[in-house]
Amino acid sequence: MDRLAFNAMAAINEERIGRHQLSNDIANVSTVGFKKTYDVTLQAHQASGQGFDSRLQPRIVVNDQVQLDPGPLMVTGRDLDVALNHKTVLGVTGSNGELAFTRRGDLKVNANGVLETGSGHLVRSQDGGPITVPPGFKISFGSDGNLYATDPAQQGVPQQQVIAQLMLRDASTTPLSKREDGLFKVVGKAAGTDFATGPGPVSLTPQALEGSSVNPMASMVKLIEQSRSFEHQVRLIKESKSNDESGASMMKVS
């Protein structure tokens, strides 16, 4: 009976990472451009060591890779909002100064006139440097990632001028994982490593934002399933204890 309790306890411990991952997904249902990372599942593995060959232990299998499935498109009408299409990612500068990538498109101009994301990461241009916006100019984006500036004080019809090209990469053939700050990096490469854009087109949708790719209904269903699984494992532990106590009472001398 003790082995049944051990297996049930092992299942509870192994499902812990899945519960943390699900809680993180639910907390980011409304986060702009949020992408799911972890996929977890339980598999039965044969336990090595003394005992029968039929002894199996639950073990969690984790797939730590960013899922770039597009989220819902939200039209905002704001000139600095962009939604990255397909599997396009945007190059930014992380908090440690290294190159990283993101799907977050709520951009803004900080007090120094430099373009950054809503979380404060500097947006990089195609040549790898920061993007400085001329003071007093109105800026807008093209679907190809070009940044246009218009002088409102210009006489006649204002002329748009290209001042920068966003660093856009197609990650359809490049696996990405999350950094500690929530940005993306290339799997198997050193942090800050750039990668060649894939065969897919890179583009964006101006004046729109991409919502979180987390499905709240599916996440709630998984949360209920995990709660029931936890209750089931605890019930197994209690039943094994009850059976063990019954067996011990039969061995007592009357």
Query: Bigger pLDDT: 174 or 42?
Result: 174
Question: Which range has the worst mean pLDDT, 10-19, 23-32, 55-64, 68-77?
Answer: 55-64
What DSSP line would sit under the chain, residue for residue?
Answer: -HHHHHHHHHHHHHTHHHHHHHHHHHHTTTSTT----EEEEEEEEEPPSSS-TT-EEEEEEEEE--------EEE---TTBEEE-TTEEEEEE-TTS-EEEE---B-EE-TTSBEE-TTSPEEBBTTSSB-BPPTT-EEEE-TTSEEEEE-TT-SSSPPPEEEEEB-EEE-SSS-EEE-TTS-EEETTS-TT------SS---EEETEEE-----HHHHHHHHHHHHHHHHHHHHHHHHHHHHHHHHHHHTS--
How confident is the model over 136-169, as pLDDT tens digits? 888 889 888 899 988 877 777 777 888 889 999 9
Query: Bigger pLDDT: 86 or 63?
Result: 86
What average pLDDT does the structure give for the chain?
82
pTM (two decimals):
0.73
pLDDT for position 166: 92
Distances (CA, A) of 146 to 70, 99, 151, 160, 165: 22, 20, 17, 11, 4
How confident is the model over 30-67, as pLDDT tens digits? 788 788 776 666 666 666 666 556 566 667 666 677 88
How confident is the model over 232-251, as pLDDT tens digits? 778 877 777 777 667 667 66
How confident is the model over 188-227, as pLDDT tens digits? 888 888 998 988 889 999 999 988 888 888 878 888 887 8
pLDDT for position 88: 92
Residue 1 above 50 pLDDT?
A: no
pLDDT for position 115: 92
